[in-house]
Amino acid sequence: MQRWLLRGAALAIPALLLTLATAGQPATMPEIKIGTVLPLTGAFGASGNYFKQGYTMAIDDVNKAGGLAVGGQKYQVSLTVLDDGSDGTRSRSLVEKLVTDQHVNFLLGGYDTSLVEAQEVVPDQYKIPYVEGGGAASEIFKRGYKYVFGTLATVYDMGKITMDFIAYEISQGKLPKPVSLAVVWENTDHGKDYINAVLDQAKAHPDLFKVVLNQSFQLNGSDFSPLLQQVKASNATVFLSDAHLPDFITMHRQYLQAGMHHELVSYGARGPDQKGRQALGPGADYLIAALWWTPALKDPASQLFTDRYTKEYHAVPDWFQALSYDTARVLLQAIRNAGTLQGPAVRDALARGVFRNALVPGGVIRFGPNGQIAGSPYVMVQNMPGNTVRIVWPRKLPETRDAILPMPRMQ
């Protein structure tokens, strides 16, 4: 199997519709059409644009290298991006539009569990492989679809690894035993995965964990003050929240304004996001997060990606860009491995493939029988002052350092 390479530069791209090609390629070169529907505007607009960047970088790689070799023929790869405005109904209809009107050969997924769930009915209907890295709820992969593949470990795994980390910190004497937990979670399949993992671990280890608040909230909220008052009244030692980026920013700003403090605070995968750190400043310092990737990883592939992204976009990459880059590379490699553009053959190449030199922790992506990534590639990180992070879990990584707990009082 060919190794993935990091080379080339991303192209300037319009907001709603994007076609990538490499200047100077022969006009007669045949084309592979890839389509994606992303939330470039609306509640998830920031994350959707990050995904567009990652997809762009991966497709630019193959075009800059002279095209994608499939069955002895080189193909130019084009990418069409449509904006669903963060609306699920529109998202599903636009994916079908890509198939029926744009006649794309393959699909890359959207961002956010709810939008991916809306999209995923289309690939099986038309037998078009669909690879996504923006939806992590396990429910996505319980519906029996055969053409849907996901590069994100589940949110259930996120909750479990968070509890594993907390258990370790208890063993080190940094948190009391048992530790009391206030848990709030978005009322979606994403949030249900998270709370189920927390409750399962608390039930399995009653000597370590005591859940004193278990409360859901609606996605895309504007006032979390009543919810935070419940958190405060619970007198918990640890505050856990499963929230998407906009809700994390709003909730934690109101948390700080209320003068609240816990010995450990985690918003699931949120905290190190550059949008969040810009919005919250030092108030985001010392938060704990479980991530699918971080620029703090020191393996060569991660460092090359971080350096390249920083040069091209003049910003620090988050997991969004890394996982979307991996997602597109998995699809492109599967097309190459299949040696054909036929959907069923590429679907089979995805199902049996082992994709190495990936950015996810461990460097390997393979899929289980349900299309979900096999294993649980996560790292736990802690925000540090100066817009830096340190990896604090798992302990086996050479980059891992001790967490600073109890957390200093945030500003």
Residue-wise pLDDT tens digits, 201-240: 999 999 999 999 999 999 999 999 999 999 999 999 999 9
Count CB neighbours of 320 within 10 A.
27
Count CB neighbours of 272 within 10 A.
25
Taking residues 380-405, report their average pLDDT.
Answer: 96
d(CA 20, CA 107): 15
CA 348 to chain centre: 24
Residues 175, 238 contacting (CB under 8 angstroms): yes
Mean pLDDT of the chain: 93
Residue-wise pLDDT tens digits, 237-291: 999 999 999 999 999 999 999 999 999 999 999 999 999 999 999 999 999 999 9
- Please provide the CATH number assigned to the domain covering 31-153+299-365: 3.40.50.2300
Residues 67, 336 contacting (CB under 8 angstroms): no
Count CB neighbours of 7 within 10 A.
11
CA 104 to chain centre: 24
Q: What residue ranges in 105-178 does DSSP mark as E strands? A: 106-108, 130-132, 148-150
Residue-wise pLDDT tens digits, 325-339: 999 999 999 999 999
Q: How confident is the model at residue 3 (pLDDT cuts 50, 70, 90)?
A: very low
d(CA 122, CA 71): 27
pLDDT of residue 409: 85
Structure tokens at 71: 């069955």
Structure tokens at 152: 């994100």
pLDDT of residue 28: 74
Residue-wise pLDDT tens digits, 140-178: 999 999 999 999 999 999 999 999 999 999 999 999 999
d(CA 349, CA 338): 6
Strands 388-393 and 379-384: antiparallel
Q: Running DSSP on this structure, what letter comes out for residue 24?
A: T
Where does CATH 3.40.50.2300 sit in the chain? 31-153+299-365, 155-291+379-393
Q: Which residues pair with 73 in a beta bridge?
A: 70
Count CB neighbours of 375 within 10 A.
15
14 pLDDT exceeds 50? Answer: no
d(CA 312, CA 10): 7
18 pLDDT exceeds 80? Answer: no
CATH number of 155-291+379-393, picked from 3.40.630.10, 3.20.10.10, 2.60.40.10, 3.40.50.2300: 3.40.50.2300
Residue-wise pLDDT tens digits, 92-126: 999 999 999 999 999 999 999 999 999 999 999 99
Q: Which of 54, 32, 69 minimizes the C-alpha distance to 109?
A: 54
